[in-house]
Amino acid sequence: MSEDRKPWRIGIAGLGVVGSSLGKFLAEAPDFSPAHGRAVVTGVSARTRKDRGFDLSDVAWFDDAVALAKSPDIDLFVELIGGAEGVAKAAVEAALESGKAVITANKALIATHGQALAKLAEAKGAALLYEASVMGGVPAVKMLREGLTGEEVTSVAGILNGTCNFILSEMERTERGFADVLAEAQKLGYAEADPTTDVGGFDAAHKIAILAALAFGGAPNLGIVEIEGIDKVDLIDIRLARDLGYRIKLIASAERDGEGASIRVNPALVPLNHPLAQAGGALNALFIEGRRIGRIYMQGPGAGGSATAAAVAADIADAMARPIRPVFQAAAEGLGKRGAAAGGDHRDKAFLRLMVQDRPGVIAAVSEALAKANVSIDSFLQKPVEDTGHVPIVLITHPASASALDDAVGHIAALEALVEAPRRIRVARI
């Protein structure tokens, strides 16, 4: 590049975990993408003025992120505030309105308002890039958006929330219950003070909605994602699943379903020798399956300031390189929202955990209840009688439709020998 080329003036709104990491990186390496020019932070916005770990003395401060987004003194706007509504959305809209390239790590915003923002970006000829919104430092968005153009992707499935993966891994490793491990995760900074977005499965839902849009050529359709979090996963289920050769993970998956897509997030059993079962701690992992490519597997850091800032920086380089692609797979104006009822015709294996009284004939009654619903047993395990006089029974069914499994669980729940409601967890179809 020629030395006298004007630098790109970058505005960063949000100087928290990711924003301050990005600021430090750009202060140290403004020439990180030499083919495209220097990237210099010239404006920032956050709630409070305090040390952010890089020199802000020559950087304009904006109390109002929207004013930063509109400023004629920046060329490229980076939104690292978060949230689907409020100032993050207003600032992104303002930057796009003024024709500026926008880079964001905000999955809630893209999953909720992706199509409207994409229409605005495309109408204004501005780039809207969001690599860091899914899987932090792992370039999953680029893989689907650019690397697999023209491929018929049939499914994507993986572990997209590091907090849940950490909690489930720790529950198994240390044999502690959910609440205990969640408290530790909060202390370590892996979980927010209000953990609902993560442990309730909503964060993973935002991410899989974005990946599904890219995989199947639609716009994000958060409304059709079937969501179940990890807050009801008991240690006993983790132990019993392991006895049967499985590990429980929060799996986010999207499958092409005719003209639609079936998208869900839920705790699921994964065979112990499967790569997704091996991705422990706060790691993220993803399988992409396509007609011609077969399977691609990606694994890496799904969060963390520097890994996420690396993905943001890669988007900055793309925006500086300029040829602007559609925000999703095709122009936003014509994109449909692919959707189908999750679980429609799909047949899943299920893990059923039953607590029954220790008396003759119970197992026969359970088998009969399953047979009545036309569900057959793949594997079965009866544990020793507990001090309470109750016996844990755990079984894995052969694949069955959701309605047959509902029936089976209903018949079992009605058995007199049952001492608590049956627990049902999906076995991942991966």
Ligand X SMILES: NC(=O)c1ccc[n+]([C@@H]2O[C@H](COP(=O)([O-])OP(=O)(O)OC[C@H]3O[C@@H](n4cnc5c(N)ncnc54)[C@H](OP(=O)(O)O)[C@@H]3O)[C@@H](O)[C@H]2O)c1
Distance of closest approach, residue 109 Cβ to ligand X, in angstroms: 7
CA–CA dist 373, 348 (Å, integer): 14
**Cross-strand bridge partners of residue 351:** 396, 425
- Judged by CB under 6 A, does residue 65 bind ligand X? yes
Among 8, 10, 11, 15, binds ligand X (CB under 6 A): 15
Distance of closest approach, residue 152 Cβ to ligand X, in angstroms: 29
Residues of this chain, 71-90, that bind ligand X according to CB under 6 A: 80-82, 87
- Judged by CB under 6 A, does residue 137 bind ligand X? no
CB-wise, 50 or 322, nearer to ligand X?
50
CB-hemisphere CA count at 13 Å for 11? 30
CA–CA dist 389, 163 (Å, integer): 36
- Find the catalytic residue in 70, 89, 100, 207: 207
In the stretch 35-54, what mask flags binding to ligand X with x, by CB under 6 A?
----------xxxx------
Among 308, 320, 408, 430, binds ligand X (CB under 6 A): 308
- Judged by CB under 6 A, does residue 200 bind ligand X? no
Q: What is the token pair recorded at 53?
A: 């770990």
CB-wise, 59 or 81, nearer to ligand X?
81
Burial class (CB in 10 A: 0-12, 13-18, 19+), 202: buried
In the stretch 344-373, what mask flags binding to ligand X with x, by CB under 6 A?
------------------------------
Among 7, 147, 280, 304, binds ligand X (CB under 6 A): 304
Q: Please report which residue ranges of 189-267 form alpha helices under DSSP H.
A: 196-199, 202-216, 235-243
How far does CA 187 lie from the centroid of its chain? 22
Q: Are 204 and 322 in contact (CB under 8 A)?
A: no
Q: What is the token pair recorded at 77?
A: 């706007």
Other C-beta atoms lying within 10 Å of the C-beta of residue 321: 13
* Size of site (CB under 6 A) for ligand X: 24
Distance of closest approach, residue 53 Cβ to ligand X, in angstroms: 12
CB-wise, 47 or 291, nearer to ligand X?
47
207 is catalytic: yes
Residues of this chain, 212-251, that bind ligand X according to CB under 6 A: none
Q: Are 68 and 43 in contact (CB under 8 A)?
A: yes
CA–CA dist 422, 375 (Å, integer): 15
Distance of closest approach, residue 14 Cβ to ligand X, in angstroms: 3
CB-wise, 80 or 252, nearer to ligand X?
80
CB-hemisphere CA count at 13 Å for 249? 33
Report residue 329: phi and psi, to 5°: -80, -20
Distance of closest approach, residue 93 Cβ to ligand X, in angstroms: 14
> CB under 6 A: which stretch of 7-15, 146-154, 256-264, 340-348 binds ligand X?
7-15
CB-wise, 56 or 235, nearer to ligand X?
56
Among 8, 9, 10, 19, binds ligand X (CB under 6 A): 19
CA–CA dist 30, 19 (Å, integer): 15
CB-wise, 48 or 273, nearer to ligand X?
48
- Judged by CB under 6 A, does residue 402 bind ligand X? no
CA–CA dist 159, 254 (Å, integer): 12
CB-hemisphere CA count at 13 Å for 60? 16
Q: Closest CB to ligand X belongs to which residue?
A: 16
CA–CA dist 371, 56 (Å, integer): 69
Maximum distance among all alpha carbons in the chain? 87
Residue ranges binding ligand X (CB under 6 A)? 13-19, 45-48, 65, 80-82, 87, 105-107, 132, 136, 303-304, 308
Q: Looking at the annotation, which residues are catalytic?
A: 207
